[in-house]
Structure 1
Amino acid sequence: MRCDPVLSQGDLGGTRTLQKKWTTFQKARLECSLPERHVSFNNLRAVFTMPGPDWRGTTFYGIFHAQWGDVDVSAVCQYQINDVKKVFEGSYKEYREPSQRWGRYTGAVPAPRPGAV
């Protein structure tokens, strides 16, 4: 799994209750792929969660879909919640409006780090 958390300023926050306020939402993209075949499944269709003895033992499965021409394909990828948690300890990305691209966030990481408390 390769994901980068995202810092979002001014995110609408779902029902717009946080509109026009500084808000931080951590987001990460789950990646399901067969790198040796250069195949990526980029559309998450469903998630199934299998609880462990405590939250650290939680496993979840994502059902992904992709389409290449006339061919529809699906895949199931497995993730451990601890692996997902580690993703949010990494570096951030931000959306750069002028270039309309995502890039590595180079500013100071907020303290306390979002999601740490």
Structure 2
Amino acid sequence: DNWAAEGATGWSYSDVLPYFKKSETLQRGNQIPESPLNRSVHGSTGPLTVSVKEPVNPVAENFVRSSTKLGLEIGDYNDGSMNGKVSLMQQTIREGSRCDTATAFLRAAGKRNNLTIAVNSH
């Protein structure tokens, strides 16, 4: 919420969360029981696919579990309170390939009749 605190009206966590949720689809992935994703802060119908790496890397799994023994809490990167917490990394993968901005948003938008994409226009 630093931007909102500095006067950027409309840029607080609660202000932008609905747009992030609208842009993504959280896929059920492999998770360790101690590190559940908070589905209330993720979308389910957006074009950007978000998941936890499958299979979970044993080193990452042990890191998360060990961190809790040191007093760190497990969190979700999207819940707005990750300071001092640990989690498995979320990624944007769809059908085995990276689901980047072009894949998620631009390809479908590029087929619109009312859109012109100018390349090398810098």
TM-score of the pair, normalised by structure 1: 0.21
Q: Which has the larger radius of gyration?
A: 2
TM-score of the pair, normalised by structure 2: 0.20
Determine which structure has the larger helix proportion and give its number: 2
